[in-house]
Structures are given as C-alpha cells and as structure tokens.
C-alpha cells in the first residue's frame, strides 16, 4: 500500500496515501477510540460551508492566492455534493473545543485542493491546512459558528414535522367533531367532550411549539466568526467579517449577521441551550400526545378502544393477531432521548472557562442529533400514525352516557350535595343517573332531558363573549 509522510509540530508520521485526512487527524484517531460515532453530516456541511466562505473571502482580500482559494472552494463544493464523506473520521468524544474535527476538515480540504492543483497529498508547502484553508480562523470561532449554522439549517426538519403533525390533527379534528366521549381527569370519569375538540387542542399546542422553535432559531443567526483565537480578531483582514458573513448568507439563505460581541459569541452556549430547551419543551408535549393516544387505543377488549391507531406491523412474536401502537412508542423513545440530550447540553454549556467552552463537540453532536431524530420522528408519526387514526363513535358514546360525571350538569338545578347523592346511589345500585333523578323526583323528565343533552354539554364555548381567538 502506498504511503506518505506528514509532519506536524510533534514530529513525523506515515499515512496511507489513499486517505485525505492528515497527521493531526491520525493522532486524533489514536487518541480517541471512544464510541465509533463520527460527526453528523449536517455538522460536516456546516464546517465546509464556513471553509468555502472563508476561502472566497480570503481570496478576494488577497490574504491567500486566488488559485489556492479557487481550489479550496472546488474541494468544498465536491464535499457538499457528497464526495469524500468517509474521510471525516474523528470520534465525537475528542479534544476539547473541537480542534481534532476542525483539523480533520482542514486536512481533507487541503489534500483534495492539492489534487485539484495537480499536486500530491501532503504537499503542504504549496497549500497548507493551517496557513491556507484555516487562514484567519481558529477552532474557537469556527466551531461555535458551525453549530449555529448546522442547527439553523436543520431545524427546518422539526418545523416541517410540526407542520405535518398540526395538519393531521386538524384534519382528524374536523372529521371527529361530532363524536362525543367521556372526558377524564385524574384518570377518572369527567364531563362529556368532543373527540374533535381533543384533537384540535393538540393542534393548537403543537402550533405554539412551531412559534417557540422558530423564535429559538433566531438566536442562532448572530455569528462570532472572525473573532479568531480569543475574540480579538487576530490574524484577520479588517474587511474579513462583513465579507465572510455575506458569503455565508448567500450560501445558506439564512439572515445571518455579526454577533454583538465576538467574545460573547465564542464563550456563551446560551443560543444552543435555548434551541435545545425549545426541543425539550416540544418533546414533553410529544410524550403526552403519544401516551394519550395509546390510552385511547388501549384494548381491544379490556381497554378504552375509543380510537384505533393504524396497525403498521404485527405486534407480537407469540400472540397471533396482536397489534401494538408502535409509532406512538417510537415517538416516546425519540422524545425521551431529546430530554436526555438536553440535559447533557445544559451541563456542557455551563462547563466553559474564561474565553472558551471546551465542551463544544458534545454540544454539536447532541443538539444536531436532537434536531435530526425529533424532526424525522414527528414526520413519520404524522404520516404513519396520526393520518390513519379511526374513531369508535359507539364506544365513545357509551362511556359518555355511562359517566357519573354527568351529575355535574345537575349542580345548578339541584345543588352539589344532592347531585353527589345521586352519583353515589347510581354507582352503588347500578341504575343510570336519569333513573335515579326521576325516582327521587328531583326534576321532571323534560327538565332532565334538556339538562343532560350530551351535544349541548360537550359543545366548547370559546372564545369568551366579546373576545377573538385570532
């Protein structure tokens, strides 16, 4: 196998000539054989977008030769199109701040750019990972910028998933509006409600989460790129910051702008905590929705079975004919994972010291992984679960008519204590509430029929008189 020798500040090492990464990546592979988990594609994309923007800027400003800048840009374009993805190899648990991954990116781009110039890999005296690909940059401003870009670009997956969830819920809400079921509070019988309004309420909840996630996304647009090593901008051209951010705006389509202070953008992980927090909040309601649907679908003979979630696969290796709410179970697992990742992000965010947070590699992976699994989980859940829900109107009606909580409607007419006595007698005797009321001669049949009208009782009255729900 052909090999090449590369040199860094610690000495020389031999590498296979087939690989595009270099000596510093090799040292990271030796130092960090931890999880076998490599950087997520969105993180690689974000880093390469930064390198393209910086090469364009430094070439325009004369900081690096234009032909070298052009070769780096071409190498970036190839990788963004899907080339050389197997060359980004550093474990996600690595050197603090992300220096190992950053140099992996610099070395792959340098060696591919050297090939584009007709030179061999490792000819760094002509085109260097540090002096050219990384000109005017530092791990300390590149990595927090990459996390911002990666998260801002991939959050569209979550927002798209929420669009689909809301649309599916609203469609079912309209379809099930006329179905009356027993409400339940404390897992005990409550007053009648409309199944359609239950689903419409969920739609409102998740539409609100769209707003909160979108608001958190805006915190990512201020970039500290150009702060260099410690936020002072050392080794950068005076015109570098506005130009590089303009290039990134063009490349990403995001409304990016310089951060109010470069040191603040490098030190504080608050935007990532804010985004992660919005995902955690969303996950908590995702868990509740999944669990509520599982309860309503429980059975078929010994549970509620007021609705049926679509069967998508056999549910048991031993019990024939069994179907489980697997899509809701999947969403639960995704949401539990998001809660755990948020905890790790929060701890990592407060673990920085002075001018730098060295836990950025963990934050990068956990945040982008949360976005990835939650976005995909919501989309699949909407398509393969919510869209196929069917209702059991007869069972819903049976529970609504059997609920002892119907006596609540009697309170204004016979008083709370008398209504409580009716409920107790109905429970102990097994006689329906209307029969007990009439036997006690508390109301006339006409009065009782008007009061216990399930359609009227379950009709939601909102917004309050004189207010708008816009």
Tell me which residues are annotated as active site: 316
Q: Which residues pair with 353 in a beta bridge?
A: 356
Question: Long-range contacts of range 73-77, CB-CB < 8 Å, 24 or more positions apart?
Answer: 74/113, 74/116, 75/108, 75/109, 75/112, 75/113, 75/116, 76/48, 76/49, 76/51, 76/52, 76/109, 77/52
Residue 146, C-beta contacts closer than 8 angstroms, at least 6 positions apart: 43, 46, 47, 50, 364
CB 86 within 8 Å of CB 39 = no
- Strands 307-308 and 390-391, by their bridges, are antiparallel
Q: Which residues pair with 12 in a beta bridge?
A: 7
Cα separation, 356 vs 360, in Å, equals 9
The helix-helix angle for 240-252 and 41-60 (nearest 10°) equals 130
Q: Which residues pair with 181 in a beta bridge?
A: 193
Residue 76, C-beta contacts closer than 8 angstroms, at least 6 positions apart: 48, 49, 51, 52, 55, 109
Cα separation, 344 vs 348, in Å, equals 6
- Strands 188-194 and 222-223, by their bridges, are unpaired
Cα separation, 43 vs 146, in Å, equals 7
**Region of 90 on the Ramachandran plot (φ > 0 left; ψ -120 to 50 alpha; else beta):** beta
Question: Count of CB atoms within 10 A of residue 264's CB?
Answer: 14
């Amino acid at each position: 196998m052909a090999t090449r020798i590369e040199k860094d500040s610690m000495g020389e090492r031999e590498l296979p000539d087939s690989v595009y990464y270099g000596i510093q990546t090799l040292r990271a592979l030796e130092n960090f054989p931890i999880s076998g988990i490599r950087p997520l594609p969105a993180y690689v994309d974000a880093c390469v977008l930064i390198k393209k923007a910086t090469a364009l800027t430094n070439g325009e400003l004369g900081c690096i030769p234009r032909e070298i800048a052009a070769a780096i840009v071409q190498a970036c374009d190839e990788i963004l199109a899907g080339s050389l993805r197997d060359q980004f190899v550093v474990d996600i648990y690595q050197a603090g701040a992300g220096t190992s991954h950053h140099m992996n990116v610099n070395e792959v781009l340098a060696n591919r750019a050297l090939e584009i110039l007709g030179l061999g890999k490792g000819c760094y005296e002509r085109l260097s990972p540090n002096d050219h690909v990384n000109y005017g940059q530092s791990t300390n401003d590149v990595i927090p910028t990459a996390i911002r870009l990666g998260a801002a670009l991939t959050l569209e997956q979550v927002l798209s998933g929420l669009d689909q969830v809301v649309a599916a819920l609203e469609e079912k809400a309209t379809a099930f509006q006329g179905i009356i079921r027993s409400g339940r509070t404390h897992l005990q019988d409550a007053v009648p409600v409309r199944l359609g309004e239950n689903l419409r309420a969920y739609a409102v909840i998740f539409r609100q989460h769209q707003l909160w996630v979108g608001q958190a996304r805006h915190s990512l647009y201020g970039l500290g790129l150009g702060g260099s090593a410690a936020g002072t901008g050392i080794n950068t051209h005076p015109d570098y910051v506005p130009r590089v951010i303009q290039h990134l705006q063009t490349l990403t389509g995001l409304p990016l702008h310089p951060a109010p202070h470069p040191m603040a953008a490098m030190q504080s992980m608050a935007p990532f905590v804010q985004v992660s927090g919005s995902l955690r909040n969303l996950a908590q309601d995702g868990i509740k929705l999944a669990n509520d649907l599982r309860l309503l679908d429980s059975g078929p003979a010994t549970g509620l079975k007021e609705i049926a979630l679509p069967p998508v696969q056999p549910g048991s290796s031993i019990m024939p004919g069994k179907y489980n709410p697997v899509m809701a179970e999947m969403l639960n697992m995704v949401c539990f994972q998001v809660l755990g990742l948020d905890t790790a992000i929060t701890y990592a965010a407060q673990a920085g010291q002075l001018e730098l947070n060295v836990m950025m590699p963990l934050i990068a992976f956990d945040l982008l992984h949360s976005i990835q699994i939650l976005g995909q989980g919501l989309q699949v859940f909407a398509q393969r679960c919510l869209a196929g829900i069917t209702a059991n109107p007869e069972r819903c009606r049976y529970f609504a008519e059997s609920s002892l909580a119907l006596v609540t409607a009697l309170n204004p007419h016979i008083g709370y204590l008398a209504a409580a006595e009716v409920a107790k007698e109905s429970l102990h005797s097994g006689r329906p509430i209307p029969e007990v009321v009439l036997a006690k001669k508390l109301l006339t049949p006409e009065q009782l029929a008007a009061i216990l009208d399930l359609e009227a009782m379950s009709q939601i009255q909102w917004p309050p008189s004189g207010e708008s729900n816009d």
